[in-house]
Structure formats: structure tokens, C-alpha cells
């Protein structure tokens, strides 16, 4: 028995039938167009022809779950819809208003139909999306991609996280469709076990520029940055390198120079912006890329709990049907290395608390991503609202900071503390820093001495920055007479490696 009855044979009705091409045996068409009816029958559709469609409904021996009224005539749609309501009271009724429908006709349709579609509004919305600001943005990106006649390097930030990786893969796919040869590049390591599983399971082909010859950049004809916005800042590119494309969701402190710049700080992940491009270009997102983008959104918004926007939810909803959810499950449940557990253990043992701020120096580390996991773990301690865990690797201090309901922009605090002596920044509740040891690295290899010096420098700078930005976190350390709160104003600023 047909589950759908389509009344009409206009352009909209034909589109509905084309969409139902896989199950046409469940569709019955009622039309007054004999020529169109014959064509439909040849393609396997059951058709009834009636010169009076209202009366034709009454002669049909069907019990459809859904009735679609889709002629191009507004008046006809009203009368057919009213007749369909009487004939099939239990069916879902979807009606096209028709072109040139009056307000009275729209009102009559709305009174009987479960859903009314205005084709003129649909066309207007489509044109707005195509020729408006968002459409112009998409066309500009395509124009720049097509103008890169050769090899494009899509560069992630150092030690890339899932959002950066997924965004690079997605932009690479769009670039290849525009005729570019593409390499997906990064400096540093992908050491977090979850991120390694992410890259390996989805078989993303990435290029670690640290393993390439010194003149490797000369092989590229264009450069794109994703999830960060300036060369030489959180990547190892030359600061004066000309950049063609920047796509990022972190607001920058300084002007960004590139042929094409898309900085939308209102969303929680750069992956969300790439989903928008695929949708506006009407390109079906391949399964591995959809899986990666969904994971990137989930990680960067901390499962839709941090700096999330409506756009992030909508992008994720669009990706769910395309993503490999079994692969995501495997990515999210990787084995934990002994090094990670050891670092978490040292972070717990070495912790120092000042008010509701916890700091911990874990010494030498092989896996810098374990610092972020330790900072997350320590944030669960009772009475703690902000944490910073840091360690040393290859002459550099790496720090990861986390906050929860602390009334402070952690990214700005970390930038205040370490921005003058290293790279630092992040989100309001997730931030990181990298500080080159310099002369400190020449301290005799007495681990305890180096540990003491590093701890003193990092702790003092971070606590001073927190003190200047929040009266609450250090309230128990400073007397109320010495440090009185006048309230707190939310701050926003440029972002750093979110998972640092």
C-alpha cells in the first residue's frame, strides 16, 4: 500500500519524486497531466489521472501516511488541501503554497496542513545564502583556491589537536576539488594517544615538517593556516611568509594578513566553519572527513559544554548521519600510556595550592599532551577552580592550564604571565604556554636545581597574573583587607593551542 500520495506534477512534485527514487513503489501520484503521467509510469511510479484533482482524491483507493500537495497553482493547492483533510484525516499533510499565494490563501493552508512550504521564501533564502555575505565569503575562498596554481600547504598549529587536524583535512579536500595539489602540514608531535588514534583510524595523510629538509617550504606555491592565524605564532613558519588563506575561530590580538581571511570567533570550533563551506557549496562530506569534523567540534567544545554556539550544534547535527560512529567510539577509548599515568601521578604528588589555584611541576616529560590530561584531572579536586601543570621537554617549558567557573579569562591570564617570554594564550577555561628555557637550560644537570628554578619562575608569574585578573581565586591567600573585589568583567582575547 502506498505510504505517500503526491498531488500534482509540477517542478516541485518532480523533485519530490526524484528524491524518492529508491522506493517509488511506495508513492502514488495524482495528476491532471496525461503526458507527465505516462512518463512517470515508465519510471515505475503508480499514477492516477483526473481532470478535477479535488474529486480525484475521493476516487482513490489508498490510505497514505503522507499527502503532499504540490501543484504550482496557489488556489488549487488550497482546495486540494481542504479536500485531502476530509479524505485522509489521519495522514500528515504537507502543502506547497504555490507561487503568488495571497495572505488569505496562506492562512487557509496553515489552518488545515501540518506543514506549509512557501517556494518563494525558499528561493529567497537560497539567494540570500548564495549572494549574501556568507555566499560571497565562500566564492572568495573558491577564487583564491583556484588561483593557487600548484601545490598548497595547509598548515595546522604546532602539536595539532583534532579540530586543527580535521579542519586541515576538510580544507585540503576543498582545495583538491578546486584543482590544487595539497599537503597537510604541521610541526611538533601528535603524541596524545587519542589524537594518534584519530589520525591512524581515519587514515589521514599528514606531513610533519620537522622531518622535512630545511628548504621544504620552497616546494609549495601557496600556504593556508587553519585553527591559528599568523605564521610564526604557534607554528614554525617564517613570520614574513606570505599566507593565502586563514580560517580560524580564535580572535587575534594583531591584524591578520592573508589573501583570504575567515575569523569567526562566535563558534566553538574551526571544524564548524569547514562544515559551513561544504554545505554552501552543496558538497556531500566524505565519511572520514565528516567523522573528523564531528570529533573536532566535540573536542574543542568539550562535548558542547564550552563556548558552544548554535552553529556548532547545527554543524554536528549535519555530520552525524555521515560520520562513522563506531570509529569515533574507538578513537575516544584509546589505551593510556604508562608515561601519561606517570605524569599524572607526579602532578598529584608535586601539587601546590594557593587559594583555589593549583600548580604542579612534573619535571622532564616525554609526552607533553599528558600535561593537559593531568591539568584536567587535578581540576576535579575539591575547592580547586584553576590548575596549571607544567614540565620541561627539549629545552622548553610546556604548561597546560584549566579553569572551571573561576570568574577569570584563563587565556588572558596565561598571556599576561608568559606572553613576553614565550608563546601563550587560549580560551577562558583552557589555555597553554611554551617558554624556551634559554640560560636556565645550562644549569648543571641537577634535576632538583632546575626543577626549583622553573617552579619559581612559572608559579610566581602565573599567580601574579591571576591576582591581577581575579580577586576570587587567591582570596584565601591574600587577606580581605589587602585585596578586595570590585567585581569581574568577562574578557575575551586571542586563542592559543586549545589542548596545550
Give the Cα separation of 68 and 6 in Å (integer): 5
Please measure the distance between the N-terminal and C-terminal CA atoms of the chain and give it in whole angstroms. 59
Q: Does domain 133-332 have CATH number 3.90.1640.10?
A: yes
Handedness of CA 154, 159, 163, 166 (dihedral sign): positive
Nearest C-alpha neighbor of 234 from the set 427, 365, 367, 426 = 426
CATH number attached to the domain at 338-469: 3.10.310.30
154-171: string of b/e by CB count within 10 Å (b at 16+)? bbbbbbbbbbbbbbbbbb
Nearest C-alpha neighbor of 167 from the set 63, 252, 247 = 247
- In this structure, how many other beta carbons lie within 10 angstroms of the beta carbon of residue 256? 16
The C-alpha torsion from 67 through 68 and 71 to 74, rounded to 10°, is 90
The pLDDT of residue 475: 55
| 500 residues of the chain, pLDDT tens digit each | 457 898 986 666 666 666 555 555 578 889 988 888 888 888 788 889 998 888 888 888 888 888 999 888 888 889 999 999 988 998 999 888 877 888 899 899 999 999 888 876 766 665 555 556 777 899 999 999 999 989 999 999 998 999 999 999 999 999 999 999 999 999 988 877 788 889 999 999 999 999 999 899 999 999 999 999 999 988 999 999 999 999 999 887 788 999 999 999 899 999 999 999 999 999 999 999 999 999 999 999 989 988 899 999 999 999 999 999 999 988 887 667 788 899 999 999 999 999 999 999 999 998 888 898 899 899 989 999 999 999 998 889 999 999 886 577 888 899 899 988 888 877 777 888 988 887 455 555 555 566 787 888 899 999 999 888 765 566 544 443 333 333 322 223 333 444 45
Nearest C-alpha neighbor of 352 from the set 317, 389, 397 = 389
Grid cell digits, residue 54 = 479535488
Grid cell digits, residue 164 = 586543527
- CATH class, 4-124 region: alpha beta
β-sheet bridge partners, residue 82: none
Angstrom distances, CA of residue 106 to CA of 93, 95, 100, 119, 123: 14, 10, 10, 12, 17
Q: Where in the chain is the domain with CATH 3.10.310.30?
A: 338-469
Give the Cα separation of 481 and 265 in Å (integer): 39
Give the Cα separation of 419 and 423 in Å (integer): 6
**DSSP element (H, E) containing 35:** helix 34-42
Give the Cα separation of 271 and 97 in Å (integer): 37
Q: Is the pTM of this model over 0.85?
A: no
Question: CA geometry: angle at 496 spanning 493 and 499, to 5°?
Answer: 130
Give the Cα separation of 432 and 250 in Å (integer): 14
The pLDDT of residue 476: 44
Give the Cα separation of 472 and 405 in Å (integer): 11
DSSP 309: -
Number of H helices, E strands in the chain: 17, 18
The pLDDT of residue 229: 93
Give the Cα separation of 401 and 378 in Å (integer): 10
Angstrom distances, CA of residue 124 to CA of 119, 121, 127, 192, 279: 9, 5, 5, 47, 17
- In this structure, how many other beta carbons lie within 10 angstroms of the beta carbon of residue 254? 9
Q: Where in the chain is the domain with CATH 3.40.50.720?
A: 4-124
Amino acid at each position: 500500500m502506498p505510504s505517500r500520495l503526491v498531488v500534482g506534477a509540477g517542478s516541485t512534485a518532480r523533485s519530490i519524486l526524484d528524491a524518492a527514487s529508491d522506493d517509488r513503489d511506495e508513492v502514488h501520484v495524482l495528476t491532471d497531466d496525461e503526458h507527465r503521467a505516462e512518463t512517470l509510469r515508465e519510471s515505475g511510479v503508480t499514477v492516477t489521472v483526473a481532470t478535477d484533482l479535488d474529486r480525484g482524491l475521493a476516487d482513490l483507493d489508498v490510505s497514505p501516511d503522507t499527502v503532499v500537495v504540490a501543484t504550482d497553482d496557489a488556489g488549487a493547492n488550497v482546495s486540494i488541501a481542504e479536500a485531502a483533510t476530509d479524505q485522509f484525516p489521519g495522514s500528515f499533510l504537507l502543502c506547497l503554497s504555490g507561487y503568488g499565494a495571497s495572505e488569505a490563501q496562506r492562512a487557509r493552508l496553515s489552518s488545515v496542513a501540518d506543514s506549509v512550504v512557501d517556494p518563494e521564501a525558499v528561493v529567497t533564502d537560497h539567494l540570500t545564502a548564495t549572494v549574501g555575505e556568507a555566499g560571497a565569503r565562500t566564492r572568495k575562498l573558491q577564487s583564491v583556491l583556484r588561483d593557487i596554481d600548484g601545490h598548497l600547504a595547509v598548515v595546522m598549529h604546532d602539536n595539532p589537536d583534532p579540530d586543527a587536524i580535521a579542519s586541515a583535512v576538510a580544507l585540503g579536500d576543498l582545495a583538491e576539488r578546486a584543482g590544487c595539489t595539497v599537503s597537510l602540514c604541521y610541526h611538533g608531535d601528535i603524541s596524545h594517544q587519542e589524537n594518534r588514534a584519530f589520525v591512524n583510524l581515519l587514515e589521514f595523510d599528514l606531513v610533519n615538517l620537522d622531518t622535512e629538509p630545511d628548504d621544504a617550504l620552497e616546494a609549495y606555491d601557496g600556504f593556508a593556516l587553519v585553527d591559528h592565524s599568523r605564521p610564526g605564532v604557534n607554528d614554525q613558519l617564517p613570520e614574513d611568509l606570505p599566507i593565502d588563506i586563514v580560517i580560524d575561530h580564535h580572535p587575534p590580538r594583531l591584524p591578520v594578513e592573508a589573501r583570504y581571511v575567515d575569523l569567526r570567533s562566535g563558534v566553538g570550533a574551526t571544524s564548524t566553519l569547514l562544515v559551513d563551506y561544504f554545505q554552501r557549496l552543496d558538497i556531500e562530506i566524505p565519511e572520514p572527513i565528516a567523522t573528523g569534523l564531528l570529533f573536532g567540534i566535540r573536542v574543542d567544545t568539550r562535548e558542547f559544554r564550552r563556548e558552544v554556539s548554535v552553529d556548532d550544534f547545527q554543524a554536528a547535527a549535519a555530520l552525524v548521519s555521515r560520520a562513522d560512529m563506531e570509529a569515533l567510539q574507538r578513537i575516544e577509548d584509546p589505551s593510556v600510556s604508562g608515561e601519561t599515568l606517570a605524569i599524572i601521578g607526579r602532578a598529584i604528588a608535586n601539587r601546590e595550592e594557593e587559594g583555589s589555584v593549583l600548580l604542579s611541576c612534573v619535571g622532564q616529560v616525554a609526552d607533553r599532551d599528558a600535561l593537559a590530561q593531568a591539568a584536567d584531572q587535578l581540576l576535579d579536586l575539591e575547592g580547586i577552580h584553576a590548575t596549571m601543570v607544567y614540565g620541561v621537554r627539549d629545552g622548553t617549558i610546556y604548561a597546560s592550564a584549566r579553569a572551571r567557573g573561576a570568574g577569570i579569562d584563563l587565556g588572558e591570564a596565561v598571556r599576561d604571565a608568559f606572553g613576553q617570554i614565550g608563546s601563550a594564550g587560549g580560551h577562558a577555561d583552557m589555555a597553554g604556554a611554551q617558554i624556551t628555557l634559554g640560560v636556565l637550560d645550562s644549569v648543571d644537570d641537577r634535576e632538583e636545581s632546575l626543577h626549583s628554578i622553573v617552579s619559581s619562575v612559572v608559579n610566581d608569574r602565573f599567580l601574579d597574573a591571576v591576582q591581577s585578573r581575579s580577586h576570587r581565586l587567591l582570596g584565601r591567600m591574600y587577606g580581605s583587607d589587602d585585596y578586595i573585589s570590585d567585581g569581574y568583567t568577562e574578557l575575551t582575547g586571542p586563542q592559543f593551542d586549545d589542548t596545550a
